[in-house]
Chain A
Amino acid sequence: MNSPFVEEVIAKHADRDSIHEGELVTARVDRVYLQDGNSPTISKLFKKHGFSDVFDQEHVGVFFDHSVLSPDKHIAARLREAEEFAESLGVQVFRAGEGISHVVALEQGWYEPGTIVIGSDSHTCTGGATQCLALGMGASDCAAAMVTGETWLKVPGTVWLDIKGRPAASARARDVVMHVLAELGQYPFMYKSIEWVGPWAEDLSLDSCASVANLGVEMGAKCSFLPQGKDRPNGMVSLHKPEDGDPRLHRFNIEGLPPMISKPNSPGNSVPLDECAGLKINYVFIGTCTNGRLEDIAEAASVLAQGKVRQKVHCLVTPGSQKVYLEALEKGYIATLMRAGAIISPPGCSACLGTQGSIPASGDRVLSTMNRNFLGRMGNPEAEIFLASPLVAAHTAIKGEIPNSTELVS
């Protein structure tokens, strides 16, 4: 069989013919991008170590997405530092309001198939949607990659997920990921490269591919690659699974799989939706790098066109990027959502991680389409966070409680 995809990409970037699991290698990187939350720290590291230049100004970017509407003077001051830093380096700047780095990166072709991208955010793994080896790293790693255009990598092992069958009409791409995670836990995926194979993965929309790759980090993986398929960028290749019986190959038959929901406080704590049906919810959040793309906003709008956000439910919708927002405006989705009683916030990470509103109140129970529900994730450890698809979220907003899966089929 062919080498695992990740080995081919790393070998090419290390000028090697082949490479093996566990090796430590130095590899060239094609792009590096930062977000506003880590840029001030990276700026400090640049000053401390006397760095002032990047390897390629065109291929380094700073995205202002985590604190679009700055909630206090401390964060505002850090944002000014980040702006100054980006300007001093002469790199690409994506201003507040342009959108979430991982959404914009996909739109703008920053995740070219077969390239290596380093991002200062764990959900950089979204690049696996277009077969980019996109790796989230910390401030020091990002600083080193920005200066040298290279990084050290430990070649990961690969795990294949061969998906057969079709989920229920009300289940979405993220539900399949959550099902796999609930069944196997993080252990088989820790530090690994995941390759999704089979007809289900080949037929997903590009937005859904991004959702699947994005959740790779919640599975514990280093990267998560989708196969070549229709309406996907040129340069993507088909992925080859190993022979039957190989312990690295996991098969799943998802025929009729119901929608899933993640209970507090871990994405892996996922169960079929119906196990939580009837639980009261008073805050619904639709958006993020997992489910804030056009198909997600369209789905929320199609549900909320048939009802109103229930009294006493706070329903926040955040388009993932300016492009998503504008297209949603043109198609009338934003008007539908607003008329139904949803609040629309500017593109960005929004309420996902407690850096900006809306922070839930103590005792709130939140249903969100984001990727992780760790304790206190949205800024208040006394709020409970459940995770599900935009379809489930929109129905929840109308009902004020978690719906039954039969209610999702219109």
Chain B
Amino acid sequence: MKEILNLRVRRIEQTISTDDIIPGRYKHMYTDAKELAKHVFENAIPGFAVTLQERDVICCSDTFGIGSSREQAVSSLLAAGVIAVIAPSFGRIFFRNAWNLGLIALEIPSPSFAEKETVNLDLIKGEIAGNSETINFQPPPEKMLEMVEQGGLLAMLEKRLATKPTIILSN
């Protein structure tokens, strides 16, 4: 999990809101992420959804995921095959949702990898390497990595509750 090889870069050259990722109406229509995945970027980048595949990493030139709290912006990307997003900055709620669901979100000031370039990601070393360049970043905190490893926030909580007879505040 912590070292992920052979990711395919998909470039996006604009600010992306969560409305751009998945238009509001669809999240009120469907709870199935696979259904939502068909509509990702439908308004902002028509035709992009069908070109996404397993192990894609979105490399965005500007802020990614500003706006609404919809977690479906993350679940629909995961269902479309995206496993990581790198961008100079993220919408706060999108960033939380991403780690909570196991989508890797990394803040990298000016990622310049080319469209369809193959990159390798090492979350422990804090390194993303392609043909053109190698970028170092602050590795995510242990807590975030643990969440991803355990299958997300709620899977982690489920395990925690199973080992405790009652809910006790952790502090």
Say if the beta carbon of B118 comes within 8 Å of chain A: no
| Residues of A participating in the B interface, judged by any CB pair closer than 8 Å | 14-16, 24-26, 28, 36-38, 40-41, 44-45, 48-51, 55, 66-67, 72, 74-75, 78, 81, 119-122, 124, 136-141, 143-144, 147-150, 152, 186-187, 190-191, 217, 220, 222, 266, 353-355, 372, 374-377, 379, 381
Task: List the A residue with the shortest CB-CB distance to B156.
Answer: A144
22 contacts between A and B (CB under 8 A): A16-B171, A26-B171, A36-B28, A37-B27, A49-B154, A51-B158, A51-B161, A74-B29, A78-B29, A122-B67, A122-B69, A124-B69, A138-B74, A140-B154, A143-B154, A147-B157, A147-B161, A148-B167, A186-B63, A190-B63, A354-B23, A381-B43
Bound complex: CA A222 to CA B25 (Å): 25
Contacts of A139 in B (CB 8 A): 71-72, 97
Task: List the A residue with the shortest CB-CB distance to B169.
Answer: A150
Contact of A37 with B28 in the complex, beta carbons under 8 Å: yes
CB distance from B51 to the nearest CB of A (A): 19
CB distance from A246 to the nearest CB of B (A): 23
Bound complex: CA A314 to CA B171 (Å): 55
Q: What are the nearest 6 A-B pairs in CB distance?
A: A138-B71, A138-B97, A376-B43, A381-B43, A74-B29, A353-B24
Bound complex: CA A120 to CA B155 (Å): 19
Task: List the A residue with the shortest CB-CB distance to B27.
Answer: A37
Q: Are A49 and B167 CB-contacts (below 8 A) given A24-B143, A138-B100, A379-B25?
A: no
Q: How many A-B residue pairs have CB under 8 A?
A: 144
Contact of A78 with B170 in the complex, beta carbons under 8 Å: no
Bound complex: CA A381 to CA B25 (Å): 12
> B92 touches which one: A40, A191, A355 (CB < 8 A)?
A191
Interface size range on B against A: 35 or more
Contacts of B143 in A (CB 8 A): 24, 152
Q: Are A122 and B71 CB-contacts (below 8 A) given A24-B141, A137-B96?
A: no
Say if the beta carbon of B19 comes within 8 Å of chain A: yes
> A220 touches which one: B28, B92, B96 (CB < 8 A)?
B92
Chain B 1-31 against A: per-residue CB contact (8 Å), 1 yes, 0 no? 0000000000000010101100111011111
Contacts of B154 in A (CB 8 A): 45, 48-49, 140, 143-144
Contacts of B171 in A (CB 8 A): 14-16, 25-26
Task: List the B residue with the shortest CB-CB distance to A74.
Answer: B29
Contacts of A44 in B (CB 8 A): 31
Contact of A149 with B167 in the complex, beta carbons under 8 Å: yes
Contacts of A14 in B (CB 8 A): 171
CB distance from B41 to the nearest CB of A (A): 11
CB distance from A360 to the nearest CB of B (A): 13
Bound complex: CA A45 to CA B28 (Å): 16
Contact of B71 with A140 in the complex, beta carbons under 8 Å: yes
Task: List the B residue with the shortest CB-CB distance to A143.
Answer: B154
> A28 touches which one: B29, B69, B89, B169 (CB < 8 A)?
B169
Contact of A374 with B170 in the complex, beta carbons under 8 Å: no
Contact of B70 with A354 in the complex, beta carbons under 8 Å: no
Contact of B43 with A220 in the complex, beta carbons under 8 Å: no
Say if the beta carbon of B44 comes within 8 Å of chain A: yes
Bound complex: CA A14 to CA B101 (Å): 24
CB distance from A186 to the nearest CB of B (A): 7
Contact of B44 with A375 in the complex, beta carbons under 8 Å: yes
Contacts of A41 in B (CB 8 A): 27, 31, 71-72
Task: List the A residue with the shortest CB-CB distance to B97.
Answer: A138
Select the residue from A45, A51, A374 with max chain B CB neighbours within 10 A. A374
Contact of B157 with A266 in the complex, beta carbons under 8 Å: no
Contacts of B150 in A (CB 8 A): none
Known contacts A50-B158, A138-B70; 5 additional CB pairs below 8 A are A41-B27, A74-B30, A149-B169, A374-B19, A375-B20
